[in-house]
Amino acid sequence: MNIAKPNSYRSGPDERGHFGIFGGRFVAETLMPLILDLETAYTAAKADPAFQAEMNGYLKNYVGRPSPLYFAERLTEHLGGAKIYLKREELNHTGSHKVNNVLGQIMLARRMGKKRIIAETGAGQHGVATATLCARFGLECVVYMGAVDVERQQPNVIRMEMLGAKVMPVQSGTRTLKDAMNEALRDWVTNVHNTFYCIGTVAGPHPYPTLVRDFQSIIGNETKAQMQEVEGRLPDSLVACIGGGSNAMGLFHPFLDDPSVEIFGVEAAGHGLTQLHAASIAGGRPGVLHGNRTYLLMDADGQIQDAHSISAGLDYPGIGPEHSWLHEVGRVNYLSATDEEALAAFQLLSKLEGIIPALEPAHAIAKVMELAPKRPKDHLMVVNLSGRGDKDVPQVGDILRGKK
Amino acid sequence: MTTRIDTRFAELKKQGRSAFVTYVMAGDPDLTTSLNIVKALPRAGADVIELGIPFTDPMADGPSIQAAGLRALKAGMTLKKTLELVRDFRKDDNVTPLVLMGYYNPIYVYGVDKFLTDAKTAGVDGLIIVDLPPEEDDELCIPALKAGLNFIRLATPTTDDKRLPAVLANTSGFVYYVSIAGITGAAAANANVVGEAVARIKRHTKLPICVGFGIRTPEAARAIAEKADGSVVGTALVDALKNSLDAEGRATAKTVNAVAELTAALAQGVKGAQQAAE
């Protein structure tokens, strides 16, 4: 396909929510009026300095931002190439980047007068962040989570319940993130009058991919300033893992128009790309699901296929529409890492840096292990450490002891 | 261009009665049984047939229709076979309007132009695609109208007067009013509230208004038939089908009759209605 290079990679979407052919608003009529309201509310909030000021206050004193940009000295030495920096999103309150977006959406929900918040979650990080901010602002919170994920991410289920959220295990379909999203949409259609759907990633109907991206772009904006301060220049490359792709989009977006910066997104290759996996760009093609057109894993009849990843947060058969576009225009390189590679990276980072990463960013570290040695020592590589691994300790412990 | 849908509603209007619209899932529980069910529907009193296109992720459907889609997919149903089913049905019935209802992805993947050609050839009269609001009319709605198919839009309790003209702009055949904010098979519709909503939509369009979601019994169907140009029953028929299956989810000798008998009872309910004065 011959696709013209745009003047800017940061100008999307168009007024109908399209990034090239991707994105859009593929939802039931019941939801359409609310989605249009949300767009209006978001446009107004963006233009309101009081909204930004209030948000900055919570980002600083509640979330704990800015998150550090940390030079991973021993990992750099071990790999013997590029100088590796970790963007420490795992140090945020609630333990991942998810809180950046949830804070923004909860503040929007309050502006819109919505008292009931629903969310879907895979690994539970988005669910925990949503439960946390609902507790902080006294809002009712219902989190849909696939029954398989409830099982493998117990620590987060317990956290959500302690925070006062109701966790609804989803038994339909494959009982993972995609089904949690279906069930959240069904709840939303039913309770549209009082409910705000807090989507956890850069996917769903317009304006969600845009507003989630904007709330997460603080990651890349901080990185740019911090790198300028330490090294006096732009980084040479960025690496982040991708399920729906919100931590990656947050890091990448502020750098898209800096042509010297190489950008790598890492999808979950599961058991390998010829077997069960969750790499929508590597193994999928464009389709329509959950409100947007994007790369999806599906069969010849357009039926959505089961994804698989060791990481519940990446176990989704789609990807945010802006990523699909960035892939087609060639601005971002999409790679993939297997379960086995992610496990190895999980252990390496724990032992070398004293940082236990979540299984999700362990996929990004896995590709850093391949990319960094091939680059010179003055190459500055930033990897988004999007979440901490506490939630994965029981699961990984079982695997390493040969129980699973 | 006049479709079978237009013709059927014109006839019913002359007779002064409301339409009975039935929904079943194509290929549930298997292709052959499903074809026999669809053939039995007009004989049992269905005026219009909605045939579901199975999809793995039906985000506006409740558990019954979700399960029906998964049964069909498990038995090997595809969009291509759904069109074959319509073609076979048309061999014996060239008058009953047939509308395909489902989600966009299988059609998008099949290819919009090829799908419209094949659907028209097979004898499909209209489309109801749940996840294509008017904001996405360029995708399928406009091409479908050009191909001579009706594109039937859903209007809902959240579709206010400001939005109705946009929703109705490219709608043809009939308007499907979703009686509740919710998924299929959930709550029951209140006939009086529905009546007000139908009257509101009528102020914006001359198209027939059919009401669906939450109608399960002959009494409920009659109450709705008194307020609207048609009532749609889906989940109750799908449940009747499911209850006739064996432990492994396969069709039994009772399956076709189970759906036909409930259809006949519901049709009686609709036919007993006193049509509201125009």
What tens digit of pLDDT does each residue of A158-205 get? 999 999 999 999 998 889 899 999 999 999 999 999 999 999 999 999
- Which regions of chain A carry the CATH code 3.40.50.1100? 18-58+98-212, 66-95+217-400
Any idea what DSSP says for residue A122?
Answer: S
B128 inside 8 A of chain A by CB:
no
Q: Is B261 assigned a catalytic role?
A: no
Q: pLDDT at position A174, please?
A: 82
Q: pLDDT at position A403, please?
A: 65
Task: Tell me how close the Cα of B12 comes to any Cα of chain A, in angstroms.
Answer: 28
Report CB contact under 8 Å: A303, B106.
yes
Q: How far apart are CA A87 and CA A83, in angstroms?
A: 13
Which has the closest alpha carbon to B22: B236, B250, B276?
Answer: B236
Taking CB atoms and an 8 Å cutoff, what residues of chain B touch A179?
A: 57
- Report ipTM (2 d.p.): 0.95
Taking CB atoms and an 8 Å cutoff, what residues of chain A touch B136?
A: 24-26
Structure confidence by residue, pLDDT tens digits, A346-371? 999 999 999 999 999 999 999 999 99
- Test mutation, A186, A192, A295, A304, chain B, max B CBs within 10 A: A186
B10 inside 8 A of chain A by CB:
no
Helix or strand (DSSP H, E) at A73: helix A73-79
Residue B277 domain flag: no
- Order the strands of the A237-241 sheet from edge to edge: A69-71, A83-87, A380-384, A237-241, A262-270, A333-338
Which single residue is written with the structure tokens 């209030």? A54
Is B137's pLDDT higher than 90? yes
Q: Which CATH number fits domain A18-58+98-212: 3.40.190.10, 3.10.129.10, 3.40.50.800, 3.40.50.1100?
A: 3.40.50.1100
Residue B278 domain flag: no
Instruction: Count structural domains, chain B.
Output: 1
Q: pLDDT at position A123, please?
A: 87
Average the pLDDT over each of A147-151, A172-176, A343-347, B38-42 and give the range with the smallest value.
Answer: A172-176
Residue B21 domain flag: yes
Q: How far apart are CA A215 and CA A221, in angstroms?
A: 11
Q: Among B57, B153, B167, select the one facing A304 at the smallest CB separation.
A: B57
Report CB contact under 8 Å: B158, A16.
no
Q: List the single residue in B with minimal CA-CA distance to A289.
A: B105
Report CB contact under 8 Å: A173, B153.
no
**Cis geometry, peptide bond prior to residue A394 (ω within 30 degrees of 0):** no
Please give the CATH topology (third level) of the domain spanning A66-95+217-400.
Answer: Rossmann fold (3.40.50)
Residue B15 domain flag: yes
- Test mutation, A29, A35, A195, A199, chain B, max B CBs within 10 A: A29
The stretch B132-136 carries a mean pLDDT of: 97
Residue type at position B36? N
H helices of B112-206, in order, are: 112-122, 141-146, 164-169, 191-202
CATH no. for residue B235? 3.20.20.70
Domain hosting residue B207, numbered range: 4-271
Q: How far apart are CA B56 and CA B79, in angstroms?
A: 12
**Band (B278; pLDDT cuts 50, 70, 90):** very low
Any idea what DSSP says for residue A357?
Answer: B
Task: Tell me how close the Cα of B276 comes to any Cα of chain A, in angstroms.
Answer: 27
Q: Among A173, A192, A301, select the one facing B158 at the smallest CB separation.
A: A192
B249 inside 8 A of chain A by CB:
no
Q: pLDDT at position B274, please?
A: 66
Report CB contact under 8 Å: A287, B178.
no
Catalytic hit among B6, B30, B61, B125:
B61
Query: pTM of the prediction?
Result: 0.96
Residue B161 domain flag: yes
Residues with Cβ < 8 Å from B9, sequence gap 6 or more? Answer: B19, B174, B208, B229, B230
Task: Tell me how close the Cα of B136 comes to any Cα of chain A, in angstroms.
Answer: 7
Report CB contact under 8 Å: B130, A28.
yes
Task: Tell me how close the Cα of B145 comes to any Cα of chain A, in angstroms.
Answer: 19
Q: To the nearest whole number, what is the mean pLDDT of chain A? A: 96
- The encoded tokens of residue A88 equal 């420490």
Average the pLDDT over each of A211-225, B141-155, B261-275 and give the range with the smallest value.
Answer: B261-275
Cβ atoms within 10 Å, residue A306:
15
Handedness of CA A387, A388, A392, A397 (dihedral sign): positive
